[in-house]
Amino acid sequence: MKVAVYPGSFDPTTNGHLDIINRASRLCDKLIVGVLDNKSKVPLFTVEERVAQLKEITKDFSGLLVDFARANNSNIVIRGLRGVTDFSYEFQMALTNRALDSDLETLFISADTQYLFFSSSQVKEIASFGGDIANMVPEIINEQLRKKLELKELN
Ligand code: PNS
């Protein structure tokens, strides 16, 4: 059985992420979506909130990606590429993960053209200025993002 993991911060999940999940799941028997910590980012949503947002298709794991993959009997990591700006970060991460576990292969799926400019950071920035993100994220994420930003403003 081919098991692949698709890791990310998913803070929050965008339609671009969902597109990669849909397409990657057709390439393997089981796709595990992992909400992992990116130590260089300060998340807006807690891991619990992000996992709840991704519901059954996700598994929460705190630690190294290589351990997450091993724990799920997977040696395939899926990552989406939106263009050359993603490449150096992604390539460095793929090489680092292979240095930690030489069995691990990272497969890149190119983002669909309609999602090329989507990023979680931009979605959050647009929403924080009251911009419309309805066509960029699932409905549930749109609602939760608005609530989260309202709460932040009150504090
Ligand atoms: O969506 P992101 O923020 O680009 O995802 C990055 C993520 C979470 C996949 C990466 O930071 C990660 O794998 N974190 C887990 C800790 C780890 O294994 N670090 C070494 C990777 S080079």
What confidence tens digit (pLDDT) does each residue in 98-131 have? Answer: 999 999 999 999 999 999 988 999 999 999 999 9
Per-residue pLDDT, 4: 93
Q: What is the structure's pLDDT at 73? A: 87
- Going by alpha carbons, the residue nearest to atom 9 of ligand 1 is 8
Minimal-distance CA residue to ligand 1 atom 5: 8
Q: By the 8 A CB rule, do 12 and 53 touch?
A: yes
pLDDT the model gives residue 62:
63
Rounded to an integer, what distance in angstroms lies between the CA atom of residue 61 and that of residue 118? 25
Overall residue count recorded for the chain in this entry: 155
**Residue of 34, 36, 114 whose CA lies nearest to 82:** 114
Binned at pLDDT 50, 70 and 90, residue 57 comes out as: very low
CA–CA separation, 34 vs 85, rounded Å? 23
How does residue 27 score in pLDDT terms, banded at 50, 70 and 90?
confident
Name the amino acid, one letter, at 40. Answer: S
97 C-beta closer than 6 A to ligand 1: yes
Active site residues: 17, 41, 82, 120
CB of 96 closer than 6 angstroms to any ligand 1 atom: yes
Cβ-Cβ contacts under 8 Å for 58 (sequence gap 6 or more): 10, 32, 33, 34, 35, 50, 51
pLDDT: which is higher, 81 or 59: 81
Q: What is the mean pLDDT of the chain?
A: 88
Confidence of residue 56 (pLDDT cuts 50, 70, 90): very low
What is the pTM for the complete model shown? 0.78
Taking the centre of ligand 1 as the mean of its atom positions, its distance from the CA of residue 69, in whole angstroms, is: 12
Give 63 Cα–ligand 1 centroid separation in angstroms: 9
Instruction: Read off the DSSP letter of residue 104.
Output: -
Has residue 20 got a pLDDT over 50? yes
Assess contact for 30 and 1: CB atoms under 8 A. yes
DSSP secondary-structure letter at 115?
A: G
Please list the residues that pair with 83 across neighbouring strands.
Answer: none
